[in-house]
Copies of this chain bind each other. A is one copy, B any other.
Amino acid sequence: MTAGTIIQEIETPVMVVDLDAVERNIASMQRYCDEYGFACRPHIKTHKVPTIAHMQLSAGAVGVTCQKLGEAEVMAQAGVPDILVTFPLVGRAKAERLAALSRSVRMSVAADSPRVARDLSDVLSRQGVSVDFLVDCDTGLGRTGVQSPEQAADLAVFVDSLPGLRFAGLMTYPTVPESGPWLRAAREKIEALGLEVGWVSGGGTPAAFRTHEVGEVTEIRAGTYVYGDLNCIEDGTVSSGDCALGIRSTIVSRPTRERAILDAGSKALASDMPESGRETHGLIAEYPEARIYALDEEHGYVEVRTGLDGLDVGEVVTIIPVHACTAVNMHDETVAHRRGEVVAVWPVAARGRMK
């Protein structure tokens, strides 16, 4: 496949990305951040493509967020100068890789335990480098994170005492209304102990455009907004016209009037179901009323309602996935197009970098 190819001519299943929409989405998030004075630090787990990270930086992002260190290595290799890794880095090998990265990139990390901080400090200080450390705060999700503002203050003080780490601030995911009072209490306790909370990083696309209502947060880490997906369309974060991501798929079987089978299953679309509770594995752009009611690994099952024409064998449709991040992760290539004409094919370079 080369630039100039029409996306209709590409074999399916294939992941295509509308660059015009990507640019609109990047501009929209940056505009919001600029309006309210937030730093914008996009999460690259959605696209996993260095070129798109550079588009986000050119628009005004202060740096990027990576979930895994392997993703950070791909981005650093591609010249991204400022990277926050929000996943706890555990074990000597990862600490050494972090130390290596920190020699050429401004690296920051987040974690929630003295154990992780101490182990990182041991390696980083011995190697004569230091990185910023954010205390991971559980302000409601119930995943990682210290459980109270008091614990946040304790960890901040501990980190401040460690060589190789600089206590820099707080991090939470997602940013919800309850995050504001929690983070304020933590900041006040930490400041009362004489430390500066330079930076409070909040995350998640769904609530990103309401961050100014939360208070305390100084930085937005959002990922999905860059492409959009069915969840974004349903929660209003990205309009269907600005949804950049599609999985093009062919009808390969029409065994009954009521059922059509796609060549895209969970290995092309991922298995997520909509947050809204809507029972479909994706939105077929050309047939929004046709439900993808089940997925096998390579098959998508489409319910064809009485009176609905089309969806015949050989027809190609465009599916908007339920969740962009997990769907993108299934693909090796990002076919970037403008108005249906291919302008670039980028490897999903950080895909599979789970270590």
Contacts and interface: CB of A to CB of B under 8 A. Distances in A.
Interface stretch (A19-27, A156-164, A325-333): A325-333
Contact of A299 (B113, B144, B297): B144
Size band of the interface chain A makes with B: 35 or more
B254 A113 contact: yes
B263 A87 contact: yes
Tallying the copies of this chain within the complex gives 2
A285 interface: no
A267 B268 CA distance: 13
Given A267-B354, A326-B267, A313 B145 contact: no
DSSP class of A's interface residues: helix, strand, loop or mixed? Answer: loop
B298 A11 contact: no
A283 B196 CA distance: 44
A271 B268 contact: no
Interface stretch (A31-39, A74-82, A89-97, A225-233): A89-97
Given A90-B252, A146-B255, A255-B144, A13 B354 contact: yes
29 contacts: A11-B94, A11-B355, A13-B355, A45-B298, A68-B298, A87-B298, A88-B253, A88-B261, A88-B263, A90-B263, A91-B314, A111-B253, A112-B253, A112-B255, A136-B253, A138-B255, A142-B259, A143-B253, A143-B296, A144-B252, A144-B255, A145-B255, A263-B354, A266-B271, A266-B326, A267-B329, A329-B330, A330-B354, A332-B352
